[in-house]
């Protein structure tokens, strides 16, 4: 990840939302390692998400994430993440 993205990630993680993510790390890791999480990871890898992030092309990043999150697996994963984040 380039320095621009690292700074953005650091800024986000120090925000209220980032702190909430950190507080729910165990639950989020459980989701990430679930079959749904692995399926989503594979979809993102197929769309070369790391290269898209590194390129800084926000429109391409939004499109790639939207394509994956609009799948049945993506919808279920987002629902599970929302439940954890509400705690």
- pLDDT single digits (tens) 30-85: 999 999 899 999 999 998 888 888 888 889 999 999 999 999 999 999 999 888 88
| Domain span holding position 33 | 3-86
Residue whose C-alpha is closest to residue 84's, from 10, 13, 26, 38: 26
pLDDT of 63 reads 93
DSSP E strands: which ranges in the chain? none
CA 39 – CA 36 distance, rounded (Å)? 5
Give the chain's domain count: 1
At residue 46, φ and ψ (nearest 5 deg) are -65, -30
Residue 71: left (phi > 0), alpha (psi -120 to 50), or beta? beta
In this prediction the pTM is: 0.69
In this predicted model, what pLDDT tens digit does every residue of 2-19 receive, in sequence order?
A: 567 778 888 988 998 888
pLDDT of 79 reads 93
């Amino acid at each position: 990840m380039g320095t621009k993205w690292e700074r953005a990630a650091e800024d986000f993680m120090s925000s209220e939302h980032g702190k909430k993510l950190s507080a729910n790390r165990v639950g989020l890791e459980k989701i990430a390692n679930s079959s749904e999480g692995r399926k989503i990871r594979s979809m993102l890898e197929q769309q070369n998400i790391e290269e898209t992030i590194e390129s800084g092309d926000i429109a391409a990043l939004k499109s790639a994430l939207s394509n994956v999150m609009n799948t049945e697996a993506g919808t279920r994963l987002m629902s599970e993440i929302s439940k954890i984040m509400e705690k």
